[in-house]
Structure 1
């Protein structure tokens, strides 16, 4: 089968999802689509742009801060250890990760407020949005 399209990829995806939404054998397709923006109360994470808005105001984040926040926000309520965060964001073995992750979490909290990331003593951090 050969398909050609003239619309943007996003329009195509929306049309496909609308067409198969009610089909019982195709439900997994419509529920697996991940939007390029994560929205929480007073916080918006634009994945493709790698930007964050808090109360509608852009928040400047370093790469490590952005990807740490994205990793946590992509797994709300999950407790993620410092080594899990370090491996995912820094793409390196986590032998000496504690200070780096702690510092980045501190900077994120300073920039967007304390209400989004909780410390789980002895275990790590979780995003509570």
Structure 2
């Protein structure tokens, strides 16, 4: 999962970013709305965590602008405002969920995973394709019921493929979801990661479509 965190409180942003990264999430930090606006227009994210009190305008205003532009990625609002009218304004602007400060980092992570899962059409926290199951809450993968040990990069790659299944995922999209934006992976790095996953999940688990990308091959539809 790759998210954009829009938060100008340095201490809060640092702590949340560190905690999410420890859970295997790729996090890009923006400290104001203008930077966030540029990033959501030029980069691909699974979700946005958006603070309402930004130095260059309300988060609600920026969110409303993104929705008007057709940017429909899931948005989780962080707010210190407990009044229902403030929360209602966020939902009206296009927010998908909110967390009130102070919050538990685990709650933010669970809500993000749920938003991304639902945005990809999955209601249940466990996504299954063939005999492979991805528990989005626990961050665990099993094959025929047996746990499979994956590196952080392998997990992010598999998660991207399983959330997208049966859609084909291009190599460039996988790179964006597996590596930080400031990293420049070698041209064959995705091929190497896919080969490692096949060794752990079965040679036929991931299908290569020449010139297009990859997709999960165990069954036509996830459950």
Q: Does 1:40 align with 2:136?
A: no
Which residue does 2:173 correspond to in 1? 84
Residue 77 of structure 1: CA displacement? 2.4
Q: Contact conserved, 2:175 with 2:190, CA < 8 A, in 1? A: yes
Q: Contact conserved, 1:81 with 1:125, CA < 8 A, in 2? A: yes
Judging by fraction of residues, say which structure has more strand. Answer: 2
Residue 98 of structure 1: CA displacement? 2.6
Looking at structure 2, the residues matched to 66 and 113 of structure 1 have their Cα atoms a distance apart, in angstroms, of 15
Q: Contact conserved, 1:36 with 1:47, CA < 8 A, in 2? A: yes
**RMSD of aligned alpha carbons:** 2.4
Q: Does 1:122 align with 2:216?
A: no
Q: Contact conserved, 1:87 with 1:94, CA < 8 A, in 2? A: no
Q: Contact conserved, 1:51 with 1:58, CA < 8 A, in 2? A: yes
Structure 1 stretches lacking a partner, 5+ long: 2-8, 10-28
Q: Contact conserved, 1:67 with 1:89, CA < 8 A, in 2? A: yes
Q: Does 1:69 align with 2:161?
A: no
| Partner secondary structure for residue 207 of structure 2 | strand
Q: Which moved more, 1:40-49 or 1:63-72?
A: 40-49
- The number of residue pairs the alignment matches comes to 101
Normalised by the length of structure 2, the TM-score is 0.41
Summarize the Cα distance change of 1:42–1:33 in structure 2 as closer, same or farther, 3 Å threshold.
closer
Residue 79 of structure 1: CA displacement? 1.7
Q: Does 1:101 align with 2:190?
A: yes
Which residue does 1:23 correspond to in 2? none
Residue 122 of structure 1: CA displacement? 1.6
Looking at structure 1, the residues matched to 122 and 206 of structure 2 have their Cα atoms a distance apart, in angstroms, of 25
Looking at structure 2, the residues matched to 124 and 64 of structure 1 have their Cα atoms a distance apart, in angstroms, of 17
Q: Contact conserved, 2:153 with 2:178, CA < 8 A, in 1? A: yes
